[in-house]
Amino acid sequence: MCNRYRIEVEFDELWHAARPHSDMTNRANPTTEVFPDKPGLVVRNSADGERELVNLTWGMPSPPTVTNGKPDYGVTNIRNLDSPHWRGWTGVENRCIVPWTAFCEYEDTKPKKTARWFAIDDNQPLAFFAGIWRPWRGARGSMKNPRVGEHELFAFLTCDANSVVKPIHPKAMPVILTKPEEVELWLTADWKDAKALQRPYPADKMTLLPAEQLPAEQPTLF
């Protein structure tokens, strides 16, 4: 499950690639690393049908049977869109694209897991995840620090892992969009056509980046 990704681009590059009509971020620097229940940039279809760039919270509402009245941490990755819990959010008005340049899965190494990063290629160009979003009222976060109120939430779709991702994370990978026509299809087409995009990205068109070496432990000075 992808629970960490990053985007490292200039605002103008993102604006040109995503082609929104309005910016709700005040040209905020898009370079960041995104974690569950934290803000992430998306481009969505607004209520008037115009595309807007906006920050939403990563993690769609969990089923009530999961939270049992406790604050919700959210569902970051969605696979089964035939589930009654997700079926109502597949329309054009609830679809979005999520910009990224690398996403993380954790390799099962010892004594602790290793963060491994995937990208389109070594240059880590901009791409998008196919996402969905919705407004929601309730308590987010933890029992210790709940955030009660109105929230706008997003998650992205997953599919079978390709041969690049599978050795690190066998179960799934994010649904990746790289072509303008794929973005258009996801944001505008009927669900019967758009759902064809929920497929593994070609393995020969993406890469596993070299493992990041952690710095050596520094001695305590006092």
Cα–Cα distance list, 197 to 4, 148, 162, 194, 222 (Å)? 22, 35, 14, 6, 56
Q: Does pLDDT of 23 surpass 50?
A: yes
pLDDT tens track for 161-213:
999 999 999 999 999 999 999 999 999 999 999 999 999 999 999 999 998 65
Residue tagged 């406790």 (tokens): 70
Q: How confident is the model at residue 217 (pLDDT cuts 50, 70, 90)?
A: very low
- Residue 157 domain-assigned? yes
Tell me the CATH number at 67.
Answer: 3.90.1680.10
Residue 216 lies in a domain: no
How far apart are alpha carbons 76 and 141 in whole angstroms? Answer: 13
Residue 161 lies in a domain: yes
Give the mean model confidence (pLDDT) for residues 124-132.
98
Domain of 194 in residue numbering reads as 5-208
CB 25 within 8 A of CB 41: yes
DSSP assigned state of 214: P
For the segment 133-167, what is each residue's pLDDT rounded down to a tens digit? Answer: 999 999 999 899 999 999 999 999 999 999 999 99
* Residue 16, helix vs strand vs coil: helix
Does any domain span residue 221?
no
Q: Select from 107, 83, 70 the least CA-distant residue to 155.
A: 83
pTM here is: 0.93
Domain presence at residue 154: yes
Asked whether residue 219 is assigned to any structural domain, the reply reads no
| DSSP 8-state class, residue 60 | B
If one counts the domains in the chain, the total is 1
- Asked whether residue 217 is domain-assigned, the answer is no
Strand-pair partners of 129: 98, 176
Please tell me the predicted confidence (pLDDT) of residue 135.
96
The greatest distance separating any two alpha carbons of the chain, rounded to the nearest whole angstrom, comes to 63
Average pLDDT, the chain: 93
- CB proximity list for 68: less than 8 A, separation 6 or greater: none
Query: Sorting pLDDT into bands at 50, 70 and 90, what band is 47?
Result: confident
Q: Is residue 39 part of a domain?
A: yes
